[in-house]
């Protein structure tokens, strides 16, 4: 009592003040206790819901897919569906994510991943230092011959612009400053020469815009370079239909002429030009690329699937091949990402994306006979009533695993999504994403080097005849009893990023440790076979059958811009570049989401 008398004192005002303090403390304690009880109750509810499988909803989805009129009278499609076992496995993934959330503790092995992250940073420096020593300022780098090469007479900053944000994100600040200063003082786009509209947009324009953002959005010179490049490339959009040619002139004159353009290339300019429009206030940039999408939306498709060429004269798709590999891939990628870029405010993109994914599942997804590998094939002879299914999958297609997971969750982690908010389609997309990612890893695991070839074929049972498709004479099974076939001309590796891109997205969304371990497998294989002790990395000519694989005198810019960046982020906290706030362009340049207002 003596203590309390001394604390409260004898004055009435002091007694009232102290009592008020106690009252506030009690309210805060009770409030925190109530919030904690509500949080525990919510967590328990979510965990119970995680056991749910929406069978009726999924059966309805499958029935609607089956009842939809086929794009081809004599082609039934692949009829893929998620199995009950896969549904239960997804439930376990969701439950594990929710349990990790309830513990609110850092994983025990974060020190291990921090060490591995530092190894990726060291690899990035190893690649940059060799380029800076042998070819600084050049567009391309040939590490075996220790030389650079330009795409135009003076170069367009192809390599440096593409890797700037990787240098920022990996903390290589001195290297970033040297690259940035070179672009600011020496790069000019006022020069003669033709460049790829697509590659220059995703690598140089996208790289400049991302570096501008990640350096604090205060470097006016980077934005000025991006604006200058954008204005020169925009000349290509001045065609009758708005569909640009595949090449752009840096010193344009007259009107551009376009005949056939790659579907993926003309549909993969939008994120970059829209963000440029947002930053500069020049809405014509947005109008150019929106016009392309308007033409594509109106053009007839095959149940949401688009052939790999656009006729710039008619504004319609052209050709008889449909695939999600070369010339098709990023068309589907950017349908989703344009919707996410403007914070889900333009629903037409999402509707077109979902229609396309329905077509993918109905006609292109199938499972191999022995290893039960889920993959995405191709359609040939699409203009006939009897198209041909080709059991071929480019490594490029491995982007789709991450894209499906991104579309299903809008970039949110499963630990932050009430299980009841995942629709039957969302769940199916997550299941397909995980299955495809596992298949893509078999393209690495099953080879002698642990690296993936450029593309593979799969053993395939023709549903019409029940017989296995015959091998071509140059097909070689990667495993004697396996399902992956590699032809002699496809055994090279450019150290592409699509698989590690999907591993990063899946890790960020599911929190499953296996995706990181897969990435570590890829990184160690790259270090073992592609690293040059004297500096740099090389592409490889035959990773499927030759040990050691012979080297190719080229270090692709996307190896540093994409592959190493995604590996670094895979080994980092998912919050370092949150998928709820950023969209990665197809060259792995993370651009912030925004609204037009």
- Please identify every residue annotated as catalytic: 199, 329, 454, 498
Please tell me the distance from the alpha carbon of residue 87 to that of residue 95, in angstroms, as a whole number.
12
How many whole angstroms from its chain centre is CA 582? Answer: 11
**Residue 67: pLDDT above 80?**
yes
**Per residue in 137-162, pLDDT tens?**
999 999 999 999 999 999 999 999 99
Looking at residue 19, its pLDDT comes to: 57
Looking at residue 469, its pLDDT comes to: 87
- CB under 8 Å to 412, separation ≥6 — which residues? 509, 579, 580
Looking at residue 555, its pLDDT comes to: 98
**Residue 396: pLDDT above 60?**
yes
User: What is the percentage of the chain residues whose pLDDT exceeds 90?
Assistant: 86
Looking at residue 131, its pLDDT comes to: 99
Tell me the HSE value of 51 on the side-chain side, using a 13 A CA sphere.
4
Better-predicted residue by pLDDT, 154 or 597: 154
Looking at residue 213, its pLDDT comes to: 98
Looking at residue 35, its pLDDT comes to: 43
pLDDT band at residue 38, thresholds of 50, 70 and 90?
A: very low
Residue positions counted in the chain: 597
**Residue 18: pLDDT above 80?**
no
pLDDT band at residue 8, thresholds of 50, 70 and 90?
A: very low
pLDDT band at residue 20, thresholds of 50, 70 and 90?
A: low
The residue-averaged pLDDT of 12-26 equals: 56
pLDDT band at residue 463, thresholds of 50, 70 and 90?
A: confident
Looking at residue 34, its pLDDT comes to: 46
pLDDT band at residue 464, thresholds of 50, 70 and 90?
A: confident
DSSP per position, 201-236: IIIIIHHHHHHHHHTTS--HHHHHHHHHHHHHHGGG
Structure tokens at 149: 């090469």
Please tell me the distance from the alpha carbon of residue 161 to that of residue 429, in angstroms, as a whole number.
34
Nearest CA-CA partner of 393 in 367, 369, 371, 370: 367
Looking at residue 107, its pLDDT comes to: 63
The residue-averaged pLDDT of 417-433 equals: 98
Looking at residue 32, its pLDDT comes to: 55
Long-range CB contacts for residues 54-61, cutoff 8 Å, separation at least 24: 54/423, 54/424, 54/427, 57/423, 57/424, 58/82, 58/87, 58/424, 58/427, 58/428, 60/424, 61/424, 61/425, 61/428
Structure tokens at 280: 């500069």
**Residue 413: pLDDT above 70?**
yes
**Per residue in 114-140, pLDDT tens?**
999 999 999 999 999 999 999 999 999
Please tell me the distance from the alpha carbon of residue 275 to that of residue 342, in angstroms, as a whole number.
10
Looking at residue 36, its pLDDT comes to: 47
pLDDT band at residue 6, thresholds of 50, 70 and 90?
A: very low
pLDDT band at residue 397, thresholds of 50, 70 and 90?
A: very high
């Amino acid at each position: 009592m003596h203590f309390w008398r001394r604390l409260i004192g004898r004055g009435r005002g002091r007694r009232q003040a102290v009592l008020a303090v106690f009252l506030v403390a009690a309210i805060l304690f009770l409030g925190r206790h109530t919030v904690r009880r509500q949080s525990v109750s919510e967590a328990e509810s979510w965990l119970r819901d995680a056991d749910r499988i929406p069978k009726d909803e999924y059966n309805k989805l499958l029935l609607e897919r089956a009842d939809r009129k086929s794009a081809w009278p004599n082609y039934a499609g692949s009829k893929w569906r998620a199995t009950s076992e896969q549904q239960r496995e997804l439930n376990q993934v969701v439950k594990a994510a929710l349990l990790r959330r309830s513990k609110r503790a850092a994983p025990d092995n974060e020190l291990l991943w921090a060490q591995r992250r530092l190894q990726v940073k060291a690899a990035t420096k190893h690649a940059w230092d060799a380029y800076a020593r042998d070819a600084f300022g050049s567009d391309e780098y040939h590490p075996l011959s220790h030389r650079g090469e330009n795409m135009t007479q003076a170069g367009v900053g192809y390599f440096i612009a593409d890797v700037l944000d990787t240098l920022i994100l990996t903390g290589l600040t001195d290297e970033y400053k040297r690259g940035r200063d070179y672009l600011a003082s020496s790069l000019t786009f006022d020069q003669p020469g033709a460049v790829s509209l697509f590659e220059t947009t995703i690598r140089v324009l996208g790289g400049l815009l991302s570096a501008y953002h990640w350096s604090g959005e205060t470097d006016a010179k980077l934005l000025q370079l991006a604006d200058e490049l954008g204005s020169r490339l925009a000349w290509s959009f001045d065609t009758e239909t708005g569909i640009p040619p595949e090449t752009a002139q840096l010193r344009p004159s007259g009107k551009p002429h376009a005949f056939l353009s790659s579907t993926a290339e003309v549909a993969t300019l939008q994120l970059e030009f829209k963000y440029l429009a947002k930053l500069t206030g020049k809405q014509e940039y947005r109008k150019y690329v929106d016009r392309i999408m308007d033409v594509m939306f109106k053009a007839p498709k095959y149940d949401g699937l688009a052939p790999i060429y656009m006729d710039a004269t008619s504004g319609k798709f052209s050709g008889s091949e449909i695939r999600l590999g070369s010339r098709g891939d990023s068309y589907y990628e950017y349908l989703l990402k344009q919707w996410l870029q403007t914070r889900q405010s333009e629903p037409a993109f999402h509707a077109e994306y979902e229609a396309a994914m329905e077509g993918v599942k109905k006609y292109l997804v199938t499972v191999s006979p022995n290893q039960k590998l889920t993959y995405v094939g191709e359609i040939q002879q699409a203009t006939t009533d009897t198209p041909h299914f080709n059991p071929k999958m480019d490594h490029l297609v491995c982007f789709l695993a991450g894209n499906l997971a991104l579309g299903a969750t809008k970039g949110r982690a499963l630990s932050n999504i009430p299980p009841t908010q995942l629709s039957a389609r969302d769940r199916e997309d997550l299941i397909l994403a995980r299955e495809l990612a596992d298949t893509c890893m078999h393209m690495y695991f099953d080879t002698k080097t642990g690296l993936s070839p450029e593309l593979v074929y799969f053993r395939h049972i023709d549903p019409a005849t029940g017989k296995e498709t015959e091998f071509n004479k140059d097909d070689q099974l990667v495993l004697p009893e396996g399902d992956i076939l590699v032809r002699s001309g496809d055994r090279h590796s450019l150290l592409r990023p699509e698989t590690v891109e999907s591993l990063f997205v899946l890790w960020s969304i599911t929190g499953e440790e296996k995706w990181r371990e897969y990435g570590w497998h890829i990184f160690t294989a790259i270090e073992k076979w592609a690293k040059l002790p004297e500096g740099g990395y090389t592409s490889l000519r035959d990773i499927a059958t030759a040990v050691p694989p012979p080297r190719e005198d080229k270090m692709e810019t996307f190896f540093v811009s994409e592959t190493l960046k995604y590996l670094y982020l895979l080994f980092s906290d998912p919050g370092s570049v949150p998928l709820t706030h950023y969209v990665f362009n197809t060259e792995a340049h993370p651009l912030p989401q925004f609204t037009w207002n």
